[in-house]
Amino acid sequence: MKKITVLIGCWVGQFVKEIKFFEHLEKKLKCKVVRKSKFVYETEINDNKITFQFCFGPDNDKIWKERKEIRSKEGSSLPPSIGHLVKKGIKADEIYYLGLCGVFKGKHYDVFLPNEFIKISFDKYTIHHGHLDKLEISKKIKHDNKLIGVIPGKKCSVVTSNQVLSLKYVKNRSHELLKALSKKLKTHADVVEMENYEIVKNFGNKHNIGILLFGTDKPANKEKKSKTEPRRTNWIKFNKVGIEMIRKITA
């Protein structure tokens, strides 16, 4: 039986309860998804054992630790970073990633298949103007994405960040700063997320890697909104392309 790990770049509650990905997967592919632990789910399809591992962030750095403390005070926990999973090890024949991303070049709800990867690391939990001036960008890594040509989507470059590019994490909720940061990063990458660079760097030499990103917002366009305003995302399309990915890799 082939072992496949699918890393999930999304909050567990959102993925399971709001998006209801596993519910739709069970109906479409006639399988049973079982929760093995807080951040791990499993199923079997066509003699393939699939482990869904939730993750958050590239490294076990001070940004991750501060977020963990905040969530602990809120009565919740934080999925492991890719750094944690590297130390733990992933026992799989193939590794895939299914997650969400912010879009610099493209449209909301586009599907992106990255094959070029860079990374930025903030040294403070709150993004401020100093970060814009002294932002260090890693060297680019190129790596085959096994989903290119298998799943319809845009081949692209991605920047991995250790902090979410959201007004919530920007000093004084400055839209101007977030817009300037997005403009700077746009010259280096098409989309932004939080795990891909470290996945490719640490697992790419020994595993086939396939990455599918779904665009949910444009950081440069974010404005201050009412807390009561509902967020609308096309989860129907996300579920469709995500389930098609699972179908293809287990065929």
Asked if residue 228 has pLDDT above 70, the reply is no
**Domain 2-249, CATH number (from 3.30.565.10, 3.40.395.10, 3.40.50.1580, 3.30.70.260):** 3.40.50.1580
For residues 220 and 180, what is the distance between their CA atoms, to the nearest angstrom? Answer: 8
pLDDT, position 222: 66
pLDDT, position 108: 87
Sign of CA dihedral 87, 89, 95, 97: negative
Q: Count Cβ atoms below 10 Å from residue 178 Cβ, excluding itself.
A: 22
For residues 56 and 49, what is the distance between their CA atoms, to the nearest angstrom? Answer: 23
**Could you tell me what percentage of the chain is helix, strand and coil, using 3-state DSSP and rounding each to the nearest 5?**
35, 30, 35
pLDDT, position 234: 86
Which pLDDT band, with edges at 50, 70 and 90, does 202 fall under? very high
Which pLDDT band, with edges at 50, 70 and 90, does 231 fall under? low
pTM for the full predicted model: 0.94
Segment 129-150 shows an average pLDDT of 94
Sign of CA dihedral 8, 89, 95, 106: positive
Asked if residue 185 has pLDDT above 60, the reply is yes
Question: What one-character DSSP code corresponds to residue 224?
Answer: -
Which pLDDT band, with edges at 50, 70 and 90, does 223 fall under? low
The angle subtended at Cα 61 by Cα 56 and Cα 67, nearest 5°, is 55
pLDDT, position 232: 65
Averaged confidence pLDDT in the chain: 94
Could you give the 3-state DSSP secondary structure of residue 159? Answer: strand
For residues 138 and 78, what is the distance between their CA atoms, to the nearest angstrom? Answer: 26
pLDDT, position 227: 46
Place of tokens 């814009």: 132
pLDDT, position 224: 46
For residues 144 and 96, what is the distance between their CA atoms, to the nearest angstrom? Answer: 12
Closest-CA residue to 56 (of 15, 122, 113, 11): 11
